[in-house]
């Protein structure tokens, strides 16, 4: 058997498994951002006039924001300022010809997704999971489309939806996250390239998990995807997104927008396993993940649930939230955020109670190891009309080692006296006694940590769809490798 230190050394030197690059000819536009860039993106995608106009409106607003205030300053993360002129805003694998079916997708791209464990070929599709695969700026394949269409479910790339379902896009795009919302959402509204679109018609329970897999491949590209999910009255859908990127020394920007809309009695469950490249152990490289995700419980008794497992990215900045507008609507946020080495995460949620008897639950589990900095930032707002609103917040931090940090910023604003709020918080270290107990039973240091950490995250993991819970657990232990020494 090797000694403790030796094992730890080899584990530290182990690399990010998804860090390979696919050599593929790309169709990119020149670096930089100006009105011309927006025209180029829109033209590449053959967009209708209204879409271009919307983008331009957003771009002008962003340019103004950038000049006046710049990036948000309140965030508890540190990074060198981003040169927005040094980013490529559109990069697509060059299609050999127009794609009619999966068989025509470039085999190198299929191979890439296969290497990532996402088989797109018809025969090998994950059973019961429909996948939309986004490679750099475009969606390359959506599986099970026809089967879903039989039930009236639309699951396609955002670009396709702009062309084929303009009425739905025009009605809902920006209705939850307006283009003026925040610096990164505004940037996204101007330059977004692709993403997924789901529409579940009235009374339909989507029979399978819908899943989008995002992959940044090209160098110096930003990924700006947009996802829109609409659940009509009485419908139910469970959606999952996964993300990875190659290892690069330079930081890459990912600024996505996700909007969810749930009408009367509809339920949307949105799960994320985020594993963007976090940078190397000295903090070089990695993805800046600046994301705006929000759901609107528009109808009575509607239900939106966010579950996220955040293990990747150099910096994570995201607050999936719910606007609880319909009476009796329910918003939930279950989160595990892990920071190791030099990763920084500032994440949490916003629950805005507008309707009567609205309820929200927030379970946040932050794990910091190495030099990782983990911030929970949560806002619960109970508006005047939200009689009988209730919130339960539980916010726990686990520290591994003594060079990392955990920070908690809960903001509470209550305008209705009938509201019931409950808040619990804790910060713990992995106990030497717990570690020793495991080791005394024969369990190795690494396995003991991953065991204790998954126990800590149990309340969140059990919210994930079965297959992904296993994946999440595996991911956590991989991300924690080498965290003790």
Residue ranges in contact with other proteins by CB under 8 A = 1, 3-4, 431-434, 436-445, 447, 451-452, 454-459
Q: How many other C-beta atoms are found inside a 10 Å radius of the C-beta of residue 111?
A: 12
- Minimum separation from the CB atom of position 333 to other proteins (A): 19
Q: Which is nearer to other proteins, 387 or 454 (CB)?
A: 454
Q: Which is nearer to other proteins, 54 or 461 (CB)?
A: 461
- Minimum separation from the CB atom of position 432 to other proteins (A): 7
Q: Which is nearer to other proteins, 373 or 473 (CB)?
A: 473
Q: Which is nearer to other proteins, 7 or 483 (CB)?
A: 7
Q: Which is nearer to other proteins, 1 or 73 (CB)?
A: 1
| Distance from chain centroid for Cα 19 | 19
- Minimum separation from the CB atom of position 170 to other proteins (A): 46
Q: Which is nearer to other proteins, 57 or 459 (CB)?
A: 459
Q: Which is nearer to other proteins, 238 or 397 (CB)?
A: 397
Q: Which is nearer to other proteins, 126 or 443 (CB)?
A: 443
Tokens of 379: 């806002």
- Minimum separation from the CB atom of position 373 to other proteins (A): 24
- Minimum separation from the CB atom of position 448 to other proteins (A): 8
- Minimum separation from the CB atom of position 474 to other proteins (A): 14
- Minimum separation from the CB atom of position 356 to other proteins (A): 35
- Minimum separation from the CB atom of position 426 to other proteins (A): 10
- Minimum separation from the CB atom of position 394 to other proteins (A): 13
**Cα 136 to Cα 123: distance, rounded to the nearest angstrom:** 25
Q: Which is nearer to other proteins, 9 or 458 (CB)?
A: 458
**Cα 249 to Cα 270: distance, rounded to the nearest angstrom:** 31
Angle at 466 between CA 137 and CA 303, to 5 degrees: 75
């Amino acid at each position: 058997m090797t000694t403790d230190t030796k094992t730890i050394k080899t584990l530290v030197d182990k690399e990010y498994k998804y860090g390979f690059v696919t050599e593929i000819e790309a169709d990119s536009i020149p670096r930089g951002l100006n009105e011309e860039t927006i025209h180029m993106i829109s033209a590449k995608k053959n967009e209708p006039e209204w879409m271009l106009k919307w983008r331009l409106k957003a771009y002008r607003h962003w340019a103004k924001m950038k000049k006046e205030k710049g990036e948000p300053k309140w965030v508890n993360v540190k990074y060198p300022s981003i040169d927005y002129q040094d980013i490529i805003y559109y990069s697509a694998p060059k299609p050999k010809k127009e794609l009619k079916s999966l068989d025509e997708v470039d085999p190198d791209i299929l191979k890439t997704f296969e290497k990532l464990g996402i088989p797109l070929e018809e025969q090998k599709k994950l059973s019961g999971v429909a996948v939309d695969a986004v490679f750099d700026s475009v969606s390359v394949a959506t599986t099970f489309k026809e089967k879903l269409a039989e039930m009236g479910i639309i699951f396609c790339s955002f670009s396709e939806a702009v062309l084929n379902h303009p009425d739905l896009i025009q009605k809902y795009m920006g209705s939850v996250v307006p283009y003026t919302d925040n610096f990164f959402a505004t940037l996204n509204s101007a330059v977004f390239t692709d993403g997924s679109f789901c529409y579940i018609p009235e009374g339909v329970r989507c029979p399978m998990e819908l899943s989008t897999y995002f992959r940044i491949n090209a160098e110096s590209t930003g990924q700006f995807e947009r996802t829109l999910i609409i659940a009509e009255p009485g419908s139910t859908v469970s959606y999952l997104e996964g993300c990875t990127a190659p290892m690069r020394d330079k930081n890459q920007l990912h600024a996505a927008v996700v909007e969810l809309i749930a009408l009367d009695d509809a339920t949307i469950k949105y799960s994320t396993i985020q594993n963007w490249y976090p940078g190397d152990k000295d903090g070089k490289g990695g993805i800046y993940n600046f994301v705006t995700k929000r759901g609107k419980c528009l109808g009575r008794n509607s239900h939106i649930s966010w579950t996220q497992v955040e293990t990747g990215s150099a910096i994570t900045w995201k607050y999936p939230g719910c606007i609880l507008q319909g009476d009796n609507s329910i918003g939930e946020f279950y989160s595990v955020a892990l920071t190791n080495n030099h990763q920084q995460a500032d994440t949490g949620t916003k629950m805005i109670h507008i309707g009567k008897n609205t309820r929200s639950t927030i379970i946040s589990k932050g794990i910091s190891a190495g030099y990782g900095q983990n911030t929970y930032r949560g806002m619960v707002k109970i508006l005047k009309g939200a009689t009988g609103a209730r919130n339960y917040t539980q916010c726990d931090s686990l520290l591994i080692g003594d060079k990392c940090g955990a920070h908690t910023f809960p903001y509470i604003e209550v305008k209705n006296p009938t509201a019931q709020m409950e808040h619990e918080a804790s910060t713990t270290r992995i106990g030497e006694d717990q570690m020793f107990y495991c080791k005394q039973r024969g369990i190795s240091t690494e396995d003991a940590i991953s065991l204790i950490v998954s126990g800590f995250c149990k309340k969140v993991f059990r919210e994930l769809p079965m297959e992904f819970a296993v994946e999440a657990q595996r991911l956590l232990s991989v991300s924690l490798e080498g965290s003790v020494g």
